[in-house]
Amino acid sequence: MDTQTLRKQHDEIGEMSEALINAVIARDRLEVAKCRWRLARVLIAHLAVEDKWLYPALVRDGSPRVCTLALNFQREMGGLAAAFNAYMLEWSEDRITSEWEAFQTATWALVEALDLRIRRENIELYPLREAAMAQS
């Protein structure tokens, strides 16, 4: 697994997030349900790859700076993963219907957090792994 694959997964997460936002804007509850589960599938798979491959590889890199950054990202991602899981559990179809405006707000906040995380990984974290791979 290389960072190009992870970047492609980021692109897919971004596309799923955008589709979810578009469904929310359109107030299309059926499409919202589909998008939420597609996003969950892609995001969970991506997080598993990062946890099992990327973070351990960066921690083993040997550079204290890289190790610290990887551990910080891993810790932060755990919080984002927990927030995503809570979002999926808390927002049942019935609750979405009865609290649409609050659901919109929660969805925007979640997508913004995912977008920020993806940008940070692409800019800060993945280049470190790519540099380490280039040196080996």
pLDDT at 30 (0 to 100): 96
The label of the residue with tokens 């993945």 reads 126
pLDDT at 28 (0 to 100): 97
Query: Which of 79, 61, 49, 28 is closest to 129 using CA atoms?
Result: 61
Question: Measured between alpha carbons, how far is 42 from 56 in angstroms, rounded to an integer?
Answer: 21
Average confidence score pLDDT of the chain: 92
Decide: 55 and 67 in contact? Cβ < 8 Å. Answer: no
pLDDT at 1 (0 to 100): 64
The segments of the chain whose pLDDT lies below 70 read 1, 62, 136
List, for residues 99-112, the tens digit of each pLDDT value.
999 999 999 999 99
pLDDT at 96 (0 to 100): 97
Count of structural domains within the chain: 1
Q: Would you tell me how many other CB atoms lie within 10 Å of the CB of residue 16?
A: 22
Q: What residues make up the domain containing 123?
A: 3-135
pTM reported for the whole predicted model: 0.90
List, for residues 42-56, the tens digit of each pLDDT value.
999 998 888 888 888
Q: Quick one: what percent of the chain has pLDDT higher than 90? A: 63
